Amino acid sequence: MVLRDLRARDADAREAMDDPACDPEALARTYARFDLVNAVVSGRRALHRRWIRPRLRAGRAVRLLDVGTGGADLPRRLLRWAAREPGELEVVAIDPDPRAIAFARSLPPVRGLELRAATTSDLVAAGERFDVVVSGHVLHHLTGRELGAILAESERLLAPGGVAVHGDIARSGLAYVAFAAGTLPFERTLLRGSFIRADGLASIRRSHTPAELAAAAPDGWRVRRGFPARLELVWAAP
């Protein structure tokens, strides 16, 4: 049943945390648990090793944009790892949802991290440029038009020689079953009172297969597969 249902993307699946009227306490607990869950499912170590660390090891100053940062767990980790390298990392983390930015600002400040309630359109209009543009688990939230817009704006935000890497889930029956089974033992403990499990399963249903994402992306963007059940949509600026 799961395999059959997941053959088609469920663009109508909804995540509770996207509801402006959702329980604010459950939303805060969800943001707070992202760091634990993303340590397993997001491929953030691979993102750092492949796309960010080589630039830092060359002794370069790297300006990075994190799109749809949520609770800002990804930029905090990237800055922690970057502190071991000779180059310097500066991160601008944006999210159009003021609840996300409010939560991220409630945490202890981190050197090199700037949090903004903004969109990629806002940054394009301001003439901003970055060496690296990333996002994690954002693409499956978008309509086709929104996906095209964020990719076009990512291209415009990149400095010469920069790279955009939008990471997301690869939809499959195996990914769905693995996430369902892996989170079940923690539903009443670590994940209690959060949206992590239900929203994670909805996210998988909304996500793309590699072929679907490649077909939806403009010319010049390429899809890379990662582990576990990961996709990266990549564009390199000339």
**Where in the chain are the domains?**
2-236
Dist. CA 95–CA 112, nearest whole Å: 17
Count of residues in the chain? 238
Among the listed residues 227, 231, 192, the one whose alpha carbon sits nearest the alpha carbon of residue 213? 231
Extract the tokens encoding 189.
């403990």
pTM: 0.94
Residue pLDDT tens, the chain, 238 long: 344 478 899 999 999 999 999 999 999 999 999 999 999 999 999 999 999 999 999 999 999 999 999 999 999 999 999 999 999 999 999 999 999 999 999 999 999 999 999 999 999 999 999 999 999 999 999 999 999 999 999 999 999 999 999 999 999 999 999 999 999 999 999 999 999 999 999 999 999 999 999 999 999 999 999 888 999 999 999 9
What CATH topology corresponds to 2-236?
Rossmann fold (3.40.50)
Extract the tokens encoding 208.
């793309």
Dist. CA 125–CA 112, nearest whole Å: 23
**Residue whose token pair is 């076009």:** 152
Among the listed residues 73, 91, 79, 92, the one whose alpha carbon sits nearest the alpha carbon of residue 53? 79
